[in-house]
Structure 1
Amino acid sequence: MMLPRLSDVALAMGIAPSSLTALRPGASAVEAIRTLLDTGQPGAGLRLLAGWLPRGYVVPWACQCARDGQLSVLDTEGLALAEAWLRQRRDTERTSALAFAMRHKFLGIGPMLAASAGWSAGDLTDTAGKAIGPLPQPLMPRMAVGAVLLSATSSPVFASCCRAFAEAGLNLLPMEES
Structure 2
Amino acid sequence: MSTILEAATQMRLSAQAVARLRPAMDAHTAVQTVLEDGLTADALSLLARLLPRRYAVAWVCQCGSQQTLGEHDRAGLALAQAWVLDPGEAHRESAASFADAHRYRTIGAWAAAAAGWTGGNLNPRYERPTPPPEHLTAIAAMAALTYMAALLPAQLDTRCTAFIRDAMGLLGTRISIDGARQ
Where 1:124 maps in the other structure, the secondary structure is coil
Cα gap change, 1:110 to 1:129, in 2 (>3 Å)? farther
- 1:174 CA displacement: 5.0
Deviation at 1:23, TM superposition (A): 4.7
Match of 1:95? 93
Greater relative contact order (CA < 8 Å, ≥ 6 in sequence): 1
- Which of these residues, 98, 109, 112, is aligned with residue 111 of structure 1? 109
Per-residue CA shift, 1:155-174, capped at 9, x if unaligned? 34222211221112111125
CA distance 1:130–1:115, change in 2 (3 Å): farther
Measured after TM superposition, the shift of residue 26 of structure 1 is: 4.5
Question: What SS does structure 1 have at the residue aligned with 2:119?
Answer: coil
Preserved CA contact (<8 Å) 2:4 2:23: no
Distance in 1 of aligned mates of 2:14 and 2:8:
8
1:137 aligns with 2:134: yes
TM-score by length of 2: 0.83
Name which of 79, 95, 99 aligns with 1:81: 79
Instruction: Give the letter for the 1:144 counterpart.
Output: A
Query: Is 2:5–2:22's contact at 8 Å kept on the other side of the alignment?
Result: no
| Separation in structure 2 between the aligned mates of residue 54 and residue 88 of structure 1, nearest angstrom | 15
The question of whether the paired residues in 2 share the 8 Å contact of 1:124 and 1:131 is answered with: no
> Is there any run of 5+ residues in structure 1 with no aligned partner, and where?
none
1:140 maps to amino acid: T
Question: For the Cα contact (< 8 Å) 1:70–1:151, is it kept in 2?
Answer: no
| 1:27 CA drift (Å) | 4.0
Matched with 2:165 is 167
1:149 correspondence with 2:146: yes
Q: Give the 3-state SS of the residue equivalent to 2:130 in structure 1.
A: strand
Asked if 1:38 corresponds to 2:36, the answer is yes
RMSD of Structure 2 on Structure 1 (CA): 2.5
1:91 deviates by 1.7
* Residues 1:93 and 1:27: Cα distance change in structure 2 (over 3 Å): closer
Structure 2 residue runs without a partner (length 5+): 176-182
CA distance in 1, matches of 2:92, 2:128: 14
CA contact (8 A) 2:61 2:81 kept: yes
Change (3 A) 1:26 1:86: closer
User: Residue type matched to 1:154 in 2?
Assistant: L
SS at match of 2:122: strand
C-alpha deviations, 1:5-54, integer Å up to 9, x for none?
32111011121323323457744422332232233221100100011112
Q: Choose 18-27 or 75-84, whichever is displaced more.
A: 18-27
Contact kept in structure 2, 1:50 and 1:145, CA below 8 Å? yes
